[in-house]
């Protein structure tokens, strides 16, 4: 049996004693693309920042993160440093502030090449130029020695991706890579990510609250709510037939462009603050299907017959073919 | 770039002129040199003769124009007390002052900055708390209190170091320490907060996520970004190299610019005071100019702004 590339087990994070991540279990196989979706503050980004030891010092992280079977959590700093960039690379939401403003972009890429692939001098520069070309930076040779502020937001994200590719990672974690960009640029960056994955065969974690983008990039998705995974399955399963009321709510909040204008159905309320999570299911106060047991006992994340994982006492039923079609249309419109 | 430098130089000259004008007017409005120099019991004729000899009988604006004209021809006036060239008197005192201020600046930089950076990188640790506490002590205790405290401890109680004068190198230790302690505290605090701010920036997380070793992240990615606020403070300290020693030189009877300034103000020795103020203003202005140029070198975004 081929082992998974990355395995998260019981990953927990607390900030100043307040638990924000309540035990995440997730397997990432080689080459696969997984989406993490959910509203802001659900713990999507924190999961991967914690796994790579990138959270600030006040965060307490526990659980297990294995890369190719090797535990990286709680080990010496050098173990993490050998994984970051080399095995798992990460790109972030705001590309402009994620690049060092006082260092030339070429150097920010070549320093990664020096560390991970021992490329120096002209060899490093040649490889960096190849990467810049690969991510679609025009006129890379001339712009090699420019500073980040001389590039647009979309180009900065391309530079970030080039930097991430420098270590030839097995997994790229893209943390809302398109959120800060305008719509046409978003589409370009998504295309680039899809292309690069096809070319390099690296696995991708795509963190987003944009379901359309997730469906474009990924085969599988995890829906997160209040620091837990509440539903996990293939894109088809989740899109055709969301079973968790929260997943369903996310789809209902996507506008449709064709057909009669109808009112969007928002999810009432907001994500609870980690400090005062309700008893039982964390989604129950916002859930129209919630019953007494939801408010008493938190449902476990259990496998269903169709292969998905679900944490809900009262899942929403199978949808009719008609509404399923509607959801699909909406999603496809959002994507295009 | 050339335009940037030339506007800065022009601005610097205007600043110096403003300082000179201010000093000129205030000195002449706030007391009569003739009375001070000659004493209270001299006959009116002597006072008049003194005023006439030094041109003090002229209207203020004529005196001012004459003064500015003289400065542009390199004539900085004559000391009323010593009858010697005022500028020469001031220049003779500069080495003594620099003997204190340069080692003090050195101590501020080599202790203050590393202490602040270390504290920032080990936030909430015992060392961090220690640095904050020491820094607050350092810059809240005024130098005249600090100087007397050091004299009390090292000269009077322990008898280790001399309390005043300029005879040996040991005489310089206490005044240098007195002068540097406050600056060390200020630099430590500024370096700490600048570094904390930078370490929380997304690009530091990017550098770590890239797999850069921690030392590399600190030295190559964080420190250059924290340099701008630190350079500002150090620049201010460099600017005060001449001016910074008034109180300390008086406490430790150190024959530098500071003491000359105090004596000259008391005696209304106009030309000497004006020369000292000119020197102080010029040092401050030059150091500001250098800091401005350094900004552009340290932060390419500022370079882009100043080019427009």
Instruction: Read off the pLDDT of residues B240-284 as tens digits, 9 standing for 90 and up.
Output: 888 878 889 989 989 999 999 999 988 888 889 999 999 999 999
Q: pLDDT per residue over B190-205, tens digit each?
A: 999 999 999 999 999 9
Stated as kind and residue range, the H or E segment containing A327 is helix A321-335
Q: Return the higher-pLDDT residue of A320 and B27.
A: B27
Instruction: Quote the CA–CA distance of A12 and A23 in Å, as a whole number.
Output: 5
Chains A–B, number of C-beta pairs less than 8 Å apart: 85
Q: pLDDT per residue over B36-67, tens digit each?
A: 778 778 888 888 888 888 888 888 888 899 99
Task: Give percent of chain B with pLDDT exceeding 70.
Answer: 98
Region(s) of chain A under CATH 3.40.50.300: 6-218
Q: Name A234's bridge partners.
A: A220
- For domain A6-218, give the CATH number: 3.40.50.300
Task: Give percent of chain A with pLDDT exceeding 70.
Answer: 93
In this prediction, residue A333 has a pLDDT band, given cuts at 50, 70 and 90, of low
Would you state the pLDDT for residue A319?
Answer: 45
Mean local confidence (pLDDT), B179-187? 94
Report the SS3 class of residue B288: helix
Q: pLDDT per residue over A22-35, tens digit each?
A: 999 999 999 999 99
Interface contact A102, partner B, CB < 8 A:
yes
Interface contact A179, partner B, CB < 8 A:
no
Interface contact A81, partner B, CB < 8 A:
yes
Instruction: Quote the CA–CA distance of B203 and B201 in Å, as a whole number.
Output: 6
Domains of chain B are 2-72 (no CATH), 87-307 (1.10.3720.10)
Provide, as residue numbers in chain B, all residues whose Cβ is less than 8 Å from the Cβ of A171.
none
- Select from A94, A200, A77 the least CA-distant residue to B211: A77
DSSP string, A131-149: HHHHTT-TTHHHHTT--GG
Mean local confidence (pLDDT), A266-294? 88
Structure tokens at B163: 């309390």
**Do the chains contact at A102 and B224, CB–CB below 8 Å?**
yes
Question: What value, to the nearest 5°, has the Cα angle with vertex A304 and ends A302 and A307?
Answer: 110
Stated as kind and residue range, the H or E segment containing A234 is strand A228-234
Mean local confidence (pLDDT), A289-306? 90
Q: Return the higher-pLDDT residue of B35 and B176.
A: B176
Instruction: Quote the CA–CA distance of A58 and B200 in Å, as a whole number.
Output: 12
Residue A135 clears pLDDT 70, i.e. is over it: yes
Mean pLDDT of chain B: 89
Q: pLDDT per residue over B105-124, tens digit each?
A: 999 999 999 999 999 999 88
| Number of Cβ within a 10 Å radius of residue B272 | 29
On the CB side of B189, CA atoms within 13 Å amount to 15
In this prediction, residue A322 has a pLDDT band, given cuts at 50, 70 and 90, of very low
Would you state the pLDDT for residue B257?
Answer: 93
Provide, as residue numbers in chain A, all residues whose Cβ is less than 8 Å from the Cβ of B304.
149-150
Would you state the pLDDT for residue A331?
Answer: 53
Q: How far are the Cα atoms of A69, A202, A324 from residue A3, in angstroms, in the given order?
A: 8, 15, 35
In this prediction, residue B6 has a pLDDT band, given cuts at 50, 70 and 90, of confident
On the CB side of B205, CA atoms within 13 Å amount to 24
Stated as kind and residue range, the H or E segment containing A228 is strand A228-234
Interface contact B216, partner A, CB < 8 A:
yes
Shortest distance, CA A244 to any CA of chain B (angstroms):
33
Mean pLDDT of chain A: 89
ipTM of the complex: 0.86
């Amino acid at each position: 049996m081929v082992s998974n590339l990355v395995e998260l087990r019981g990953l927990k994070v607390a900030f100043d004693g307040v638990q924000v991540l309540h035990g995440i279990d997730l397997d990432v196989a080689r080459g696969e693309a997984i989406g993490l979706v959910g509203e802001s503050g659900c713990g999507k980004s924190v999961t991967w920042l914690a796994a790579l030891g990138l959270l600030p010092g006040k965060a307490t992280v526990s659980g297990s993160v294995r890369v190719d079977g090797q535990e990286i959590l709680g080990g010496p700093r050098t173990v993490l440093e050998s994984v970051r960039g080399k095995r798992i690379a990460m790109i972030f939401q705001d590309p402009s502030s994620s690049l060092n403003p006082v260092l030339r972009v070429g150097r920010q890429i070549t320093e990664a090449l020096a560390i991970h692939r021992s490329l120096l001098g002209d060899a490093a520069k040649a490889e960096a130029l190849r990467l810049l070309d690969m991510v679609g930076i025009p006129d890379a040779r001339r712009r090699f020695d420019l500073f980040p502020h001389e590039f647009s937001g979309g180009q900065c994200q391309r530079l970030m991706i080039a930097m991430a590719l420098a270590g030839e990672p097995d997994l790229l974690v893209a943390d809302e890579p398109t959120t800060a960009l305008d719509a046409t640029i978003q589409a370009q960056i998504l295309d680039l990510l899809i292309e690069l994955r096809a070319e390099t065969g690296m696995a991708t974690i795509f963190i987003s609250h944009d379901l359309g983008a997730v469906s474009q990039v990924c085969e599988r998705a995890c829906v997160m709510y209040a620091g837990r995974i509440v539903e996990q399955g293939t894109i088809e399963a989740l899109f055709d037939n969301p079973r968790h009321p929260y997943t369903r709510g996310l789809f209902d909040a996507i506008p449709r462009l064709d057909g009669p204008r109808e009112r969007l159905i928002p999810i009432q309320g907001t994500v609870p603050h980690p400090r005062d999570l309700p008893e039982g299911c964390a989604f129950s106060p916002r859930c129209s299907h919630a019953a007494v047991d939801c408010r008493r006992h938190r449902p476990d994340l259990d496998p269903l017959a169709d292969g998905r994982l679900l944490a809900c006492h009262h899942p929403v039923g199978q949808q009719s073919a008609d509404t399923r079609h509607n959801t699909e249309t909406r999603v496809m419109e959002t994507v295009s | 770039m050339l335009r940037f430098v030339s506007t800065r130089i022009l601005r610097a000259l205007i600043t110096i002129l403003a300082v000179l004008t201010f000093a000129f007017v205030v000195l002449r409005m706030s007391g009569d040199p003739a009375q001070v120099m000659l004493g209270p019991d001299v006959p009116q004729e002597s006072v008049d003769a003194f005023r006439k000899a030094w041109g003090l009988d002229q209207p203020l604006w004529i005196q001012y124009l004459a003064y500015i004209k003289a400065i542009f021809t390199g004539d900085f006036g004559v000391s009323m007390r010593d009858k010697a060239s005022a500028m020469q008197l001031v220049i003779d005192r500069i080495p003594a002052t620099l003997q204190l201020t340069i080692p003090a600046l050195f101590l501020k930089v080599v202790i203050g900055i590393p202490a602040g950076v270390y504290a920032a990188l080990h936030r909430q640790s015992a060392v961090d708390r220690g640095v904050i506490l020491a820094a607050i002590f350092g810059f809240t205790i005024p130098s005249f209190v600090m100087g007397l405290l050091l004299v009390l401890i090292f000269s009077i109680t322990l008898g280790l170091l001399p309390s005043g004068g300029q005879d040996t190198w040991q005489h310089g230790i206490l005044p240098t320490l007195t002068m540097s302690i406050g600056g060390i505290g200020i630099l430590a605090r500024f370096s700490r907060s600048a570094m904390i701010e930078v370490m929380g920036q997304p690009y530091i997380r990017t550098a770590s996520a890239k797999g850069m070793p921690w030392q590399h992240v600190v030295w190559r990615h964080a420190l250059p970004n924290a340099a701008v606020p630190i350079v500002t403070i150090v620049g201010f300290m460099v600017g005060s190299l001449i001016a910074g020693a008034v109180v300390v030189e008086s406490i430790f009877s150190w024959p530098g610019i500071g003491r000359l300034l105090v004596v000259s103000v008391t005696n209304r020795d106009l030309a000497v005071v004006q020369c000292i103020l000119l020197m102080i203003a010029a040092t401050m202005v030059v150091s500001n100019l250098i800091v401005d140029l350094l900004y552009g070198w340290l932060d390419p975004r500022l370079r882009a702004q100043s080019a427009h």
